[in-house]
């Protein structure tokens, strides 16, 4: 991939460009938020409750007089962290399980894939609720439960790809040279399926942001006073008529994050 090829790809691929711009903006907001927020994210100010958009508060304030923009900066950081963690756990475990079962096949494959299928049939939000109800609420529990919930789809994709590759000539060739099984899986086969893996990882990000938002809306994510985008929406809902900005701003940030990852995924799958 040289520079001109990259430029041509960006020009012919509006999805990739749009995705990079949106995710770039969101990342910028999060990185700035690490060092500086306009106001303290938990500082309440009784005299400035439920204000609309203004120069002092560019996304208005909430029902406790906290600055919505500062809280959105903090909340989207948590959302992104949980999404990264979820995809890391899900894709990591899923890749290992899918690659090993697909490569070796046999009884192991049958048993493990039955369990994976059972997990797959289980809606991820429900699985996350089971795990949260066992281990309690909080963002670490949320991360682990979403990671487990996302594992089956990665396992299935990787298994299918490994099955496709395992009888190809290059694998035969490597086998004749005496390559060990583990080295075969991780050094020879996996690099050849990285394209499929990359776009499913981006779709995973997209779904993880949606799932995190939904679960923290239900109140099982990070706990107050810490901000999370989903929780802000559920708090804001009753003030929707008086202060629409309080509902709209966190919601639009969620939509932008999801849209950004979706565009990136679409762009990468169209990469020439």
Partner 1 sequence: MKYAMKKLLMMLGTLLVVSLCVFLAFSVIPGDPALRKLGTEASPELVEQMRQEMGLNDPLIVRYGRWFIAFLGGDFGISYNYSTPVKEMIANKIPITLTMAIMAFLMTVLISFPLGIITAKHENGILDRTILVINQVIMAVPPFFSGILITFVFGLILRLFTPGGFVSYTQNFGKFIRYLFFPSLAIALPKIAMTVKMLRGSLIDEASKDYARTAYSRGNNTNGVLYRHVLKNALIPVITFLGMALADMVAGSIVIEQVFSIPGISRILLTSIGNRDYPVVEAIIMGIAIIVMVVNFLVDIIYRIVDPRIGLEDE
Other beta carbons less than 10 A from residue 115's beta carbon: 12
How far is the C-alpha of 271 from the C-alpha of 10, rounded, in Å? 9
How far is the C-alpha of 167 from the C-alpha of 163, rounded, in Å? 8
Minimum Å gap between C-beta 266 and partner 1 is 8
Minimum Å gap between C-beta 111 and partner 1 is 10
Which residues is 61 bridged to in the sheet? 67
Minimum Å gap between C-beta 268 and partner 1 is 15
Please give the C-alpha separations between residue 243 and each of 36, 211, 235, 240, in angstroms, as whole numbers. 26, 26, 12, 5
Nearer to partner 1, 133 or 181 (CB): 133
How far is the C-alpha of 87 from the C-alpha of 43, rounded, in Å? 33
Minimum Å gap between C-beta 158 and partner 1 is 19
157 in Cβ contact with 99 (< 8 Å): no
How far is the C-alpha of 232 from the C-alpha of 156, rounded, in Å? 35
Minimum Å gap between C-beta 244 and partner 1 is 7
Minimum Å gap between C-beta 228 and partner 1 is 13
Q: Which of 205, 218, 222, 177 is nearest to 264 (CA)?
A: 205
Nearer to partner 1, 60 or 171 (CB): 60
Residue ranges binding partner 1 (CB under 8 A): 114-115, 117-118, 121-123, 125-126, 129-134, 206, 210, 213-214, 217-220, 230, 233-234, 237, 240-241, 244, 247, 251, 254-256, 258-259, 262-263, 266
**Cα angle, residue 263 at apex, residues 74 and 32 outer, rounded to 5°:** 25
Q: Is the dihedral of CA 148, 78, 253, 142 positive or negative?
A: positive
Nearer to partner 1, 130 or 182 (CB): 130
Nearer to partner 1, 51 or 124 (CB): 124
Nearer to partner 1, 201 or 211 (CB): 211
Nearer to partner 1, 68 or 171 (CB): 68
């Amino acid at each position: 991939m040289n520079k001109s090829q990259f430029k041509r790809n960006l020009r012919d691929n509006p999805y990739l460009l749009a995705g990079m711009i949106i995710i770039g903006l969101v990342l910028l907001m999060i990185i700035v938020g690490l060092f500086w927020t306009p106001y303290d994210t938990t500082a309440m100010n009784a005299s400035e409750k439920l204000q609309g958009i203004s120069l002092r508060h560019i996304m208005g304030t909430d029902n406790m007089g906290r600055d919505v923009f500062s809280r959105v900066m903090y909340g989207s950081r948590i959302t992104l962290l949980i999404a990264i963690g979820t995809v890391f756990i899900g894709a990591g475990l899923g890749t290992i399980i899918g690659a090993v079962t697909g490569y070796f096949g046999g009884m192991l494959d049958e048993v493990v894939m039955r369990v994976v299928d059972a997990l797959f049939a289980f809606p991820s939000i429900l699985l996350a609720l089971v795990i949260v109800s066992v281990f309690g609420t909080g963002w670490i529990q949320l991360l682990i439960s979403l990671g487990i919930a996302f594992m089956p789809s990665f396992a299935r994709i990787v298994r299918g790809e490994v099955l496709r590759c395992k009888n190809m000539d290059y694998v035969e060739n490597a086998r004749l040279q005496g390559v060990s099984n583990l080295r075969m899986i991780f050094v020879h086969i996996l690099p050849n399926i990285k394209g499929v893996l990359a776009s499913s990882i981006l779709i995973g990000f997209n779904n993880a942001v949606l799932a995190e938002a939904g679960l923290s809306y239900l109140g099982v994510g990070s706990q107050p006073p810490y901000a999370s985008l989903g929780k802000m929406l559920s708090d804001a809902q009753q003030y929707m008529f008086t202060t629409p900005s309080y509902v709209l701003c966190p919601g639009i940030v969620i939509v932008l994050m999801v849209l950004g990852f979706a565009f990136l995924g679409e762009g990468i799958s169209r990469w020439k």
